[in-house]
Chains A and B, each alone.
Chain A
Amino acid sequence: MFDFSIVTRWFDELLRGTLGLGDFGAILIECVIVGLAIIIGYAVLAIILIFMERKVCAYFQCRIGPVRVGWWGTLQVFADVLKMLIKEIFVVDKADKLLYYLAPFLVITASIGTFSFLPWNKGAAVLDFNVGIFLVTAISSIGVLGVFIAGWASNNKYSVLSAMRAAVQMISYELSLGICLISAVILTNTMQISGIVEAQTGPWQWLIFQGHIPATLGFLVFCIAGNAEANRGPFDLAEAESELTAGYHTEYSGMGFGFYYLAEYLNLFVISGLATTIFLGGWAPINIGIEGFDALMNYIPGIVWFLGKTFVVVFLLMWIRWTFPRLRVDQILKLEWKYLMPLSLVILVLMTVCVAFGWTFTIA
C-alpha cells in the first residue's frame, strides 16, 4: 500500500537539507502546514456533510432540498456560511460573558482534537500516540464541558435545561462508547490507532470479521452510542425545538451558533471515522484471500477506502436520524443504563473469552 509517511519524510528532508533550515524553522513550517491542512479539511468536510445532510433528509421526507443556489443547490452551504459570518455577534445582557465566549473554544477543541486522530491513509494521521484510543476518549469528553458551559452561561431557562439534558446524555453514552473501544483494544493488542488499522490488513482481517459476534454487536452499540454522543438522531433532545426553542445555543447568534453547527457535523464524521477505523478496517482494503481480487483492491488508495467506508457509516447515521422520532429523557437514560451498558459489558466479556481462547476468525 502507498505509505504517506514517505512524502512527509521527503518534505522534512527538503526543508532541512536542500533549504538548509534548522530544527526550529523546519518544525515551525511543518506545524503551520499541518494546521492549515486541518482547517481546510475541517471546513471542506463540514460543507460536504451539511450539504449531504440537507439533501439526504430532503429525500427521506419526499422533498427535494436546496435547489435554488447554484446547480442542484450546491452553493447553498457557501451562502449559509457567508450569512453566518456577516451576522452580528450578540450577547445577552445578563449572560456570563467569559464562559459564553469560552464555550465554543472547548467544543471546537474537542472536535478538532478527535478529528486529527483519524487515519486517512497509511502514515497520514496527524496525531498517532501510543495511547491513541485512550486519548481520543479523553479529548472527546471536553465537548461535554463546552456544551454544558454554553447552556449555563446563556442565562436562559431553556438553555440551562438543555445543557443539563445534553450533559447527562453525553456522559452516559460515553461509557458504552469507551467499553466498545476497549473491546477493540483487546482484539488488536494495542491502543495506537495506526497499529489497530495495521492489524486489519490481510484477508478477512477487519475487526468486524476477526471478532465476529462481539465485534458486530460492538459496532452496533458504537453507532448508537456515537449518535447519542454527537447529540443527533433520535437522541437530539438537547435541542428539541418543540420544547426548548433551540437548546443550549439559543442565545448564540451568527458565527457563535455556527461553531456548534460545525462541531455537530464534524462530530458525526469523527464518530463514523472512528467506527470505520476500529471496526471496518480504516484505510485497509477488503481482502478475501484470492490473489487477483486482493491485488485489485490493494490498488485502490487507502484514502478512498477510508472516506468511502466513513461516508457509508455517515449515511447510516443520517438514515437513523431522519427515520426515528425523538426519545424522552427517561427513555434515553433507560436505553443507555439498562440496555446498552449491560450489553457492552457482555460484549467485553465475550471478546475477552474469544481472544483468550483464540476463537477469533483468522485465515491461516
Chain B
Amino acid sequence: MYYTLFITVLITAAFLVLAAYVTAKLLGPRSYNPTKGEPYECGIPTYGPSWLPVHVGYYLFAILFLMFDVETVFLYPWAVVVKTYGPLALATIGFFMLVLVFGLAYAWRKGALEWK
C-alpha cells in the first residue's frame, strides 16, 4: 500500500505542474519577437555562450559533499540500534567516526574549505 501511495504522490506532483502549465498556456497571450527571445542580462546584449566552465571551488565542495554524504548514509543503520547495544554501539562506531573527523580535519588543513 505504501508503494501505491508513493507513486500517487509522485503522480500528484507531476499532475500539479502539468495542469498549471496547461492552464497558463491556455489562458496566457502568445506573441513573439526576436528581442524577447534573448536572455535577460540587465538589458545588455549577451556576449558569447553562457555554458562556460565555472570556478573550480564549486567542484571541490561537491567532492567533499559526496564523501561526507556517503559516510552519513552509513550512519543510518547504526543509529537505529544504538539504544539496543548501549556503550558497545559507541565503541563500534568510534573508528568510523574517527575517520570521518580526520577526513574533515585533513580537508581543513589542506585548505580545501577556503573559498579562493
Q: Which residues of A contact B (CB under 8 A)?
A: 27, 31, 34-35, 38-39, 42, 84-90, 92-95, 101, 104-105, 108-109, 111-113, 116, 126-129, 133-134, 152, 154-161, 164, 167-168, 171-172, 174-175, 178-179, 182-183, 185-186, 189-191, 245, 250-251, 254-256, 258-259, 329-330, 333-334, 337-338, 341-342, 345, 348-349, 352-353, 355-358
Q: Which residues of B sit under 8 angstroms from A357, Cβ to Cβ?
A: 86-87
B6 smallest CB distance to A (angstroms): 6
Closest chain B residue to A133 by CB distance? B76
Contacts A92-B37, A259-B17 supplied; 9 other A-B pairs, CB < 8 Å: A38-B12, A89-B24, A155-B51, A159-B39, A160-B51, A185-B80, A333-B113, A341-B68, A349-B97
Give the residue of A84, A90, A168 whose beta carbon is less than 8 angstroms from that of B62. A168
**Are the CB atoms of A352 and B13 closer together than 8 Å?**
no
A107 smallest CB distance to B (angstroms): 9
Give the residue of A89, A104, A251 whose beta carbon is less than 8 angstroms from that of B28. A89
Give the residue of A88, A134, A156, A178 whose beta carbon is less than 8 angstroms from that of B50. A156
**Are the CB atoms of B82 and A87 closer together than 8 Å?**
no
A75 smallest CB distance to B (angstroms): 19
A-B contact pairs, 25 of them (CB 8 A): A31-B4, A35-B15, A42-B16, A88-B30, A90-B36, A112-B9, A113-B13, A129-B6, A155-B50, A157-B41, A157-B46, A160-B50, A171-B61, A172-B65, A178-B69, A185-B76, A191-B80, A245-B40, A245-B41, A259-B17, A334-B113, A341-B68, A341-B104, A356-B82, A357-B86
Q: Does B25 touch A at the CB level, under 8 Å?
A: yes
* Contact A85 to B113, CB < 8 A, known contacts A186-B79, A342-B104: no
Q: Which residues of B sit under 8 angstroms from A186, Cβ to Cβ?
A: 79, 82-83
Q: Which residues of B sit under 8 angstroms from A104, Cβ to Cβ?
A: 17, 21
Closest chain B residue to A12 by CB distance? B1
Q: Which residues of A sit under 8 angstroms from B113, Cβ to Cβ?
A: 333-334, 337-338
B77 smallest CB distance to A (angstroms): 9
Q: Which residues of A sit under 8 angstroms from B12, Cβ to Cβ?
A: 34-35, 38-39, 112
Q: Which residues of B sit under 8 angstroms from A94, Cβ to Cβ?
A: 37, 39
Q: How far is the CA of A352 from the CA of B100 in the complex (A)?
A: 16
Give the residue of A27, A85, A134, A250 whose beta carbon is less than 8 angstroms from that of B23. A85
- Cross-chain pair count, CB within 8 angstroms: 209
**Are the CB atoms of A182 and B17 closer together than 8 Å?**
no
Closest chain A residue to B40 by CB distance? A250
Q: How far is the CA of A112 from the CA of B14 in the complex (A)?
A: 10
**Are the CB atoms of A105 and B50 closer together than 8 Å?**
no
* Contact A182 to B38, CB < 8 A, known contacts A126-B5, A168-B58, A349-B97: no
> Which 6 interchain pairs have the tightest Cβ spacing?
A330-B115, A93-B37, A156-B39, A255-B24, A112-B13, A35-B12
**Are the CB atoms of B61 and A31 closer together than 8 Å?**
no
Q: Does B2 touch A at the CB level, under 8 Å?
A: yes
Q: Which residues of A sit under 8 angstroms from B65, Cβ to Cβ?
A: 171-172, 174-175
Give the residue of B9, B42, B55 whose beta carbon is less than 8 angstroms from that of A38. B9
Q: How far is the CA of A84 from the CA of B61 in the complex (A)?
A: 36
A138 smallest CB distance to B (angstroms): 9
B22 smallest CB distance to A (angstroms): 10
Closest chain A residue to B116 by CB distance? A330
* Contact A182 to B90, CB < 8 A, known contacts A113-B10, A155-B51: no
